[in-house]
């Protein structure tokens, strides 16, 4: 390997030689961009120093450090490095490289920056993780090199590498030496707007002097937002610019107050010139970029360019070209399923087949296929619904009203969408006739809905009979010797046939709910509030049954006596538990073993495959010893509350006349007899997903034995068709195919929040801020499940992150049925995403737990251990209760 690479080098070095920052400067120089001259001392240049420190006892201590000792041991190792010196050969190489930077025989000041192979990458930025030394004189270069080199031994660097899967025992670093620009104005610029994710907006942050004050976040900079398409400045904001950093001509830098706090440090012309450069750099890299820049002597210089990592990468298929008709997409897998994590490659393929079959059933094969391709799009780990087409077909009011029950915040976003921007004048020709097709395809089902409304007892029996037939048919499908594709299609088809019987139950329940609401629409709030109790503890909710069955398992003394998950798993494997517990476990596993977080994805391990994790959930439930937190007692109390509310409302209805009373009774019967089945289709879909999972794992095992896959789990990085082809064609490189398929999913490593709504130019749409916010000390959301409870907050981003202890207030962004065990112990629930019909809301009501949804940023605002009171009837969270 070469020891040094000039920026002007024609040969492009490898990333492993010069790091992300170094290769960026070399490539930009090759493109003729205005980059200050310089060179990179490669990873090989510092090999002697690394070989030395890796032989020391201090290095061994760092590698074996606990989290408590890491900082101390890193500091001791860095002190040792202060005595490192360049040998004669390396000094000669450095001197030769410096000659290339001389101007008229004179040398100037230098900027010395690190360039790690793990820094400034598309999947891992780590900007600011290493040291930069500015205004360095030639005779001080060796000291500056030591500082930059030693920064790769910082505690934060080791922690970052562990988090991102980089090897910590093989440190590597290159160092850039570059002409120091004496900037009058400098800063950073982003080729997309990091606040709203918009690809068409550039954002520029600037300050007087050197850019370090902006890069290090020392000051509030001037900010500019530019529309890259129309080439216009959309907004300017004067920052406080508290201080600025300037180059000292004698070496080093100094700080002084900004020359003017009230004036912008860039003219409009400079902003637009900088935007043009930013657009050119982005076009070269073919991805969103942020740059560091500087103005000096009326010339602009590029100091750095790196990929932006923390943005939401919309799948390429959904992106429209700049200036073209824009569309709005709802991230359906988040809003409907409560799934923030992306599905696996095979999970996306499987879900697409389910959705395709469902839409073909609803609209006919032709329209169903078009609807999935254009309107309900499963792609790259998520499903997206085209809101623009929905608005064109339904109209805004109907669409917003339909969304209110699912997620009020989502409804507010859609209500404020600019239809002139996002709704096309005409639908694509292939989508025309969708309404008519839907009606014609389902006209026969109207009779079933009427039957369900007129005689819910009889229709429920018919529905249950269909459930039994489906389970018998699925059992026979498992026993057949079918190809994976045939098995997938046959089990999905059987599920779709069952769902035809379910639709009448769901629609009848919604009609009954609507009619009940209408009966009491003229009543005072204290009467209307009772309506929320009517949906508490409805019978036959499969998810609630699962939670109570799990609680029953947790009550066995054997669970209390188990000291660890490993002990539990061993005893379960060898059947060392009592016959009573094993009988209860076998029943639970048969009925609910398919359920888990991210259960819609076949890649996800099920509870019977991970008994250690399941034990942790059971063990947490053993803490529920008093009646106040006993889930069975709470559920029975919720039944009583529902029945009492019914009697009170019946008296009100009777005062309105016999007809109203009769209507209320009839619709309540429909709601009580049928409403609890809302969760059943999801349960059966998860059941067939687990059947599919087991088929895939079985097919993958010989591929691992033949070294065609690294692990059994890697098979889920393939599509179903790819796996089928691979099973019959040994020449297909399945490992390479699997690695290629997850390229897009890797981009989500730095994404911490998935948006509800995003447009086809990447812009995240948010609900307008409420004119009237909650009073001080309160958070206001949507009332979901009534009741008042006080407790300590427990914030979770994943259901297995930490236990929820009895009485704690569970705070999450969204939940799917895999979170149900946590609802058992929770005293109440606060959700960022959700409405009356979202999973978390349904389960909270069924368990009789107070619940509030639609509190934006609740998982950031609230902290573990914080004492709050939630009022599920008013939708208010009161903070810091004593």
Average pLDDT of 830-841?
76
Q: Tell me the per-residue pLDDT of 69-116, one tens digit each, with 9 for 90 and over.
A: 888 888 888 888 888 899 999 999 999 999 888 776 677 899 999 888
**Most confident region among 3-12, 176-185, 437-446 by mean pLDDT:** 176-185
Helix ranges (DSSP H) in 706-808 = 720-728, 734-741
CATH topology (fold) of 183-312? D-amino Acid Aminotransferase; Chain A, domain 1 (3.30.470)
Residue in this structure with the two tokens 């034995």, named with its chain if needed? 705
CA distance 415 to 387: 11
Any idea what DSSP says for residue 806? T
Strand partners, 848: none
Strand spans (E) along 238-340: 244-247, 253-256, 289-296, 299-307, 328-331
Residue 129 has pLDDT above 70, yes or no: no
So what's the pLDDT on residue 634? 82
Q: Tell me the per-residue pLDDT of 58-71, one tens digit each, with 9 for 90 and over.
A: 888 888 888 778 88
Q: Tell me the per-residue pLDDT of 395-424, one tens digit each, with 9 for 90 and over.
A: 999 999 888 878 888 999 999 999 999 999
So what's the pLDDT on residue 126? 46
CA distance 451 to 465: 16
- For CA atoms 461, 463, 467, 473, the dihedral sign is positive
So what's the pLDDT on residue 802? 87
Structure-block tokens of residue 628: 């106040």
So what's the pLDDT on residue 216? 82
- For CA atoms 58, 59, 65, 68, the dihedral sign is positive
Is 268 in a helix, a strand, or coil?
helix
Is 80 in a helix, a strand, or coil?
helix
Residue 781 has pLDDT above 50, yes or no: yes
Q: Tell me the per-residue pLDDT of 695-733, one tens digit each, with 9 for 90 and over.
A: 999 999 999 999 999 999 999 999 999 999 999 999 999
Q: Exposure pattern of 664-681 as b/e (b: 16+ CB <10 Å)?
A: bebbbebbbbbbbbbbbb
* pTM (2 d.p.): 0.85
CA distances from 65 to 71, 158, 170 (A): 9, 11, 16
Residue 839 has pLDDT above 80, yes or no: no
- Chain centre distance of CA 190: 22
CA distances from 472 to 47, 265, 361, 461 (A): 67, 74, 22, 17
CA distance 754 to 447: 41
Structure-block tokens of residue 449: 């809905």
Q: Where in the chain is the domain with CATH 3.30.470.20?
A: 183-312
To the nearest whole number, what is the mean pLDDT of the chain? 89
Is 462 in a helix, a strand, or coil?
helix
So what's the pLDDT on residue 124? 40
How much of the chain, in percent, has pLDDT values that exceed 90? 59
- Inter-helix orientation angle 720-728/734-741, to 10°: 170
Phi and psi at 292, nearest 5°, equal -105, 140
Nearest residue to 823 via CA among 801, 799, 791: 799
CA distance 876 to 853: 10
Q: Where in the chain is the domain with CATH 3.50.30.10?
A: 778-878
So what's the pLDDT on residue 121? 43
So what's the pLDDT on residue 172? 84
**Residue 470: CB partners within 8 Å, gap ≥ 6?**
494, 495, 497, 498, 684
Any idea what DSSP says for residue 103? B
Please tell me which residue, 295 or 127, carries the higher pLDDT value.
Answer: 295
Residue 125 has pLDDT above 60, yes or no: no
Nearest residue to 868 via CA among 781, 801, 769: 781
So what's the pLDDT on residue 353? 95
| Helix then strand then coil, % of the chain, to nearest 5 | 50, 15, 35
User: CB neighbours (10 Å) of residue 103?
Assistant: 9
Residue 120 has pLDDT above 50, yes or no: no
Residue 623 has pLDDT above 80, yes or no: no
Please give the class, per CATH, of domain 1-180: alpha beta
Please report which confidence band the pLDDT of residue 427 belongs to, taking 50, 70 and 90 as the band edges: confident
Residue 626 has pLDDT above 70, yes or no: no
Q: Tell me the per-residue pLDDT of 303-354, one tens digit each, with 9 for 90 and over.
A: 999 888 888 999 999 999 999 999 999 999 998 888 888 999 999 999 999 9
State the pairing for strand pair 174-179/244-247: unpaired
> Is the distance from CB of 150 to CB of 81 less than 8 angstroms?
yes
Q: Where in the chain is the domain with CATH 3.30.1490.20?
A: 1-180
Average pLDDT of 189-204?
94
CATH topology (fold) of 778-878? Glucose Oxidase; domain 1 (3.50.30)
Phi-psi map region of 854: left, alpha, beta (phi>0 left; psi -120 to 50 alpha): left
Average pLDDT of 849-862?
89
Q: Tell me the per-residue pLDDT of 12-39, one tens digit each, with 9 for 90 and over.
A: 888 889 988 899 999 999 989 999 999 9
Residue 40 has pLDDT above 70, yes or no: yes
Helix ranges (DSSP H) in 12-154 = 15-30, 47-53, 57-63, 70-81, 88-99, 141-150
So what's the pLDDT on residue 801? 84
**DSSP string for 193-214:** -TTT--TTEEEEEEEEB-THHH
Residue 840 has pLDDT above 80, yes or no: no
Please tell me which residue, 835 or 497, carries the higher pLDDT value.
Answer: 497
User: CB neighbours (10 Å) of residue 415?
Assistant: 16
> How many residues comprise the chain?
882
Average pLDDT of 209-223?
89
CA distances from 354 to 406, 492, 686 (A): 21, 6, 11
So what's the pLDDT on residue 837? 63
So what's the pLDDT on residue 776? 80
Nearest residue to 511 via CA among 656, 399, 670, 403: 670
Is 355 in a helix, a strand, or coil?
helix
So what's the pLDDT on residue 127? 46
For the chain, state the CA radius of gyration: 31
**DSSP string for 360-386:** HHHH-HHHHHHHHHHTEEEETTEEEEE
**Residue 260: CB partners within 8 Å, gap ≥ 6?**
none
Cα dihedral 546/551/556/559 (nearest 10): 100
DSSP H/E element including 225: strand 222-227
């Amino acid at each position: 390997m070469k020891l040094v690479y000039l920026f002007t080098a024609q040969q492009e070095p490898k990333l492993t030689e010069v790091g992300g920052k170094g290769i960026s400067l070399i490539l930009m120089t090759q493109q003729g961009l205005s980059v200050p001259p310089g060179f990179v001392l490669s990873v090989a240049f510092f090999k002697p120093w690394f070989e030395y420190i890796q032989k020391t006892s201090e290095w061994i201590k760092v590698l074996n450090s606990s989290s408590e000792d890491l900082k101390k041991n890193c500091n001791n190792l860095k002190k040792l490095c202060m005595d490192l010196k360049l040998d004669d050969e390396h000094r000669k190489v450095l001197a030769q490289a410096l000659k290339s930077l001389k101007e008229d025989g004179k040398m100037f000041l230098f900027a010395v920056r690190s360039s790690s192979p793990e820094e400034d990458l598309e999947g891992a930025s780590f900007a600011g993780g290493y040291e930069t030394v500015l205004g360095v004189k030639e005779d001080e270069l060796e000291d500056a090199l030591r500082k930059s080199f030693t920064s790769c031994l910082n505690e934060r660097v080791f922690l970052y590498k562990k988090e991102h899967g980089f090897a910590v025992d093989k440190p590597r670093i290159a160092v850039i030496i570059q002409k120091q620009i004496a900037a009058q104005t400098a800063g950073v610029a982003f080729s997309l707007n990091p606040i709203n994710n918009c690809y068409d907006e550039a954002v520029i942050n600037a300050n007087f002097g050197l850019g370090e004050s902006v890069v290090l976040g020392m000051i509030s900079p001037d900010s500019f937002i530019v529309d890259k398409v129309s080439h216009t400045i959309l907004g300017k904001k004067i920052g406080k610019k508290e201080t600025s950093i300037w180059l000292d001509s004698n070496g080093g830098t100094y700080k002084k107050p900004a020359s003017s706090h009230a004036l912008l440090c860039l003219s409009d012309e400079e902003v637009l010139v900088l935007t043009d450069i930013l657009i050119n750099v982005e076009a070269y890299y073919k991805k969103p970029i942020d740059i560091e820049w500087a103005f000096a002597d009326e010339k602009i210089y590029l100091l750095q360019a790196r990929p932006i990592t923390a943005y939401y990468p919309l799948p390429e298929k959904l992106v429209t070209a700049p200036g073209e008709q824009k569309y709005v997409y709802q991230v359906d897998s988040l809003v409907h399923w409560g799934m923030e994590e992306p599905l696996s490659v095979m999970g996306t393929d499987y879900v697409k087949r389910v959705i395709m079959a469902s839409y073909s059933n609803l609209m006919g094969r032709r329209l169903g296929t078009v609807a999935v391709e254009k309107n309900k799009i499963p792609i790259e780990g998520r499903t997206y619904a085209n809101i623009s087409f929905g608005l064109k077909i339904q109209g805004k009011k109907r669409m917003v009203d339909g969304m209110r029950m699912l997620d009020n915040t989502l409804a507010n976003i859609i209500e404020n969408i600019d239809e002139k921007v996002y709704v096309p004048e005409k639908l694509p020709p292939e989508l025309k006739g969708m309404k008519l097709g839907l009606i014609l395809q389902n006209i026969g089902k109207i009779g079933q809905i009427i039957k369900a409304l007129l005689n819910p007892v009889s229709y429920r029996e018919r529905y249950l009979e269909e459930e039994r037939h489906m389970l018998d048919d699925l059992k026979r499908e498992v026993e057949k010797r079918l190809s994976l594709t045939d098995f997938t299609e046959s089990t999905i088809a059987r599920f779709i046939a069952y769902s035809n019987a379910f639709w009448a139950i769901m629609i009848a329940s919604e009609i009954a709910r609507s009619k009940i609401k209408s009966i009491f629409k003229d009543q005072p709030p204290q009467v209307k509030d009772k309506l929320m109790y009517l949906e508490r503890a409805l019978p036959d909710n499969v998810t609630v049954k699962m939670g109570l069955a799990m609680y029953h398992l947790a009550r066995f003394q054997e669970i209390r006596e188990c000291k660890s998950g490993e002990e539990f798993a061993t005893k379960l494997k060898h059947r060392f538990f009592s016959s009573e517990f094993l009988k209860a476990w076998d029943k639970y596993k048969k009925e609910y073993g398919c359920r888990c977080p991210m259960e819609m994805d076949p890649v996800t391990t099920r509870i019977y495959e991970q008994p250690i994790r399941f034990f942790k959930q059971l063990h947490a439930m053993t803490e529920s010893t008093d009646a106040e937190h006993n889930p069975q007692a709470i559920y029975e109390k919720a039944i009583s509350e529902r029945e009492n509310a019914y009697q009170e409302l019946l008296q009100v209805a009777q005062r309105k006349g016999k007809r109203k009373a009769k209507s209320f009774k009839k619709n309540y019967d429909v709601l009580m007899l049928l409403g609890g089945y809302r969760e059943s289709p999801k349960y059966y879909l998860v059941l067939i997903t687990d059947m599919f999972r087991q088929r895939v794992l079985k097919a993958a095992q010989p591929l691992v034995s033949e070294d065609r896959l690294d692990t059994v789990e890697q098979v889920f990085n393939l599509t179903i068709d790819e796996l089928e082809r691979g099973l019959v064609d040994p020449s297909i490189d399945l490992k390479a195919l699997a690695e290629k398929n997850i390229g897009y999913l890797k981009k989500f490593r730095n994404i911490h929040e998935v948006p509800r709504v995003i447009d086809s130019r990447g812009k995240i749409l948010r609900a307008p801020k409420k004119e009237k916010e909650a009073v001080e000390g309160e958070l206001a959301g949507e009332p979901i499940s009534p009741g008042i409870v006080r407790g300590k907050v427990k914030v979770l981003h994943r259901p297995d992150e930490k236990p929820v202890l009895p009485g704690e207030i569970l705070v999450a962004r969204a939940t799917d049925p895999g979170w149900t065990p946590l609802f058992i112990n929770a005293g109440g629930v606060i959700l960022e995403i959700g409405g009356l019909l979202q999973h978390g809301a349904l389960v909270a009501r069924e368990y009789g737990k107070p619940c509030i949804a639609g509190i934006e940023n609740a998982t950031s605002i609230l902290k573990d251990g914080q004492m709050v009171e939630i009022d599920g009837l008013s939708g208010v969270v009161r903070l810091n209760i004593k």
